[in-house]
Amino acid sequence: MNSKQQIKEIKASLRGEYTYTKGRKTALIIIALALIVGGMATLYMAYPETKGGFWDYGLGLLGLSLWAFGAVIVALLRHQKATLERDRISSTSLLATRTLLLHEIKGVRTGNHAIKFIPKSYEQKAVSFATYYRDYDQIQLWAYENFTDLDEKDEQARLKQITHDPRYGRNEQERLAKVNRYKRRLRPLNILAAIVFVAVVFFPKELYPCNIIACALLPLVAVAIHVGSKGLVLYDSNAKSRLPSVGTTLIFSLGALLINALRGANIMDYTRFWLPFLMVLGALTAIVTVAEWYITHSKSSVIVPLTVALLFGSAYSYSVVTIGNELFDKSSPITYRTKILHKWHSSRRSVSYTLKLTPWEQGMDTQKVKVTVRQYRRVSTGDSISVNCYQGALGIPYFNVVIP
């Protein structure tokens, strides 16, 4: 019997409540206070008496959101914790407390933000110990000394499967060498995807359209490598895993492609958008599903890749159709004049600058458009500006604002 499963109680030196480290707690308190004060100040600015007699709903919603985020952080500081008792481990969040007795724990897994104690029964839920709790390293060491490392167990099982699969080589040594070779060769591809992502974020115009082409091709290259390796290269794996993966390439390239699409997506009418979107999504999903069937010859193994293909494929299809419609458009622009009804900027994960424009054609609604900080600073509410309207290469009409 595995000695790791014979633990009956937690040693006295580890028992107690574990909350945020002092440094983390101090930083969160400062952030919470800043959000609450900023939210209240924003709500005051949105108040009718300061806005010429009407309520600014955009500022009001932003103020409430800031205040709510600050309040949530305060609540987390008060309630979120992990507790180690003699024969059990508990984790408390805002919504619930989960508890596992020691003999109910199957093993542990390590994520980016916590170590998770996994129950033997599917009816129970995992208990987490966050990386930002005090004495995390000590608890992690104790956990791996006393419980099965399920990540390592899964990886060993996968490596064993590879070493016994004749598709990957003539003998065990040749198959393991192939694993290491893929791992080594994929590192530059993953680094390239990260570089492309940085280029899109910080140098969107200087490297356009080279970054677009790279963003569109890298996800297809990742899928081709997975299929070409007969499933030896995974779509995703643990960062410390010995198994090769194209997960980093997929995440960075798709993220960069989506950022590019959202930056330039001033689509006026989505009527003709859906057919090409569904065609690209259908083709991509079909390729991934058929490829997975070709690799595994199992219907059950297709379900997870199919779900992932639909989620990631939706982002890819939206981006490719939106960007392609503009990139390959040869139509001449029609210029209209419009006025700025309102302008505002928001800073959540990144700062964005928005203009609200009056309709320039009959039957249109007001339009919101993202602009650069330079364009934002050059105009004021009530200014008249030009918009160039295009037919689009796929017949999806879009517009660009013209601000000198």
- Residue 49 pLDDT > 60, yes or no? no
Q: Are 128 and 91 in contact (CB under 8 A)?
A: yes
The answer to which of 51-65, 210-224, 280-294, 336-350 has the lowest mean pLDDT is 51-65
Question: Residue 342 has what pLDDT?
Answer: 86
Same domain, 135 and 10: yes
What is the Cα–Cα distance from 31 to 25, expressed in whole angstroms? 10
Which residue among 285, 312, 327 closes a domain? 327
Mean pLDDT over each residue of the chain, to the nearest integer: 85
**37-46, 267-276, 379-388: range with lowest mean pLDDT:** 37-46
What is the reported pLDDT for 299? 63
pLDDT bin (cut points 50, 70, 90) of residue 45 is confident
Q: Among 321, 203, 338, which Cα is nearest to 267's?
A: 321
Using the 3D structure, point to which of 271, 293, 327 is the last residue of a domain: 327
Does 163 map to a domain? no
pLDDT in tens, 132-171: 999 999 999 999 889 999 988 988 888 888 888 888 888 9
pLDDT value for 60:
77
- For residues 49 and 231, the model is more confident at 231
**pLDDT range class, residue 48, cuts 50, 70, 90:** low
**Of 394, 243, 252, the residue nearest 312 (C-alpha):** 252
Is residue 172, in this structure, part of any structural domain at all? Answer: no
Query: Would the pTM count as exceeding 0.85?
Result: no
Same domain (yes/no): 143, 7: yes
**Number of domains comprising the chain:** 3
Residue range 358-377: mean pLDDT, rounded: 82
If one compares 116 and 266, the residue with the highest pLDDT of the two is 116
* pLDDT category of residue 91 using cuts at 50, 70 and 90: very high
Within a domain: 140 = yes
Helix axes 303-327, 210-228, angle to 10 degrees: 160
- CA gap 165, 159 in Å, rounded: 10
Vertex 136 angle, CA 133 and 138, to 5° = 145
Cis bond before residue 276 (omega within 30° of 0): no
Task: Reply yes or no on whether the pLDDT at 32 is more than 80.
Answer: yes
Residue 221 pLDDT = 92
Same domain, 352 and 319: no
Place of tokens 């017949």: 395
Answer yes or no: is pLDDT of 355 > 70.
Answer: yes
Domain boundary among 304, 327, 350: 327
In which residue are the tokens 């037919």 written?
Answer: 391
Nearest CA-CA partner of 82 in 33, 26, 37, 143? 143
Name the residue range of residue 291's domain. 185-327
Residues 239 and 302 in one domain: yes
The answer to whether residues 250 and 211 belong to one domain is yes
At 50, list the tokens: 């300061």
Alpha-carbon span 45 to 63, nearest angstrom:
9
Q: Looking at residues 172-193, what average pLDDT do you find?
A: 90
Residue 178 lies in a domain: no
Q: Are residues 203 and 228 in the same domain?
A: yes
By C-alpha distance, which of 97, 138, 181 is closest to 11? 138
Confidence of residue 3 (pLDDT cuts 50, 70, 90): very low
Contact status, residue 392 vs residue 325, Cβ threshold 8 Å: yes
Q: Which of 110-114, 304-308, 312-316 has the lowest mean pLDDT?
A: 304-308
62-90, pLDDT tens digit by residue? 888 889 999 999 998 888 999 999 899 99
List beta partners, residue 367. Answer: 357
| Secondary structure element (H or E) that encloses residue 175, with its range | helix 172-202
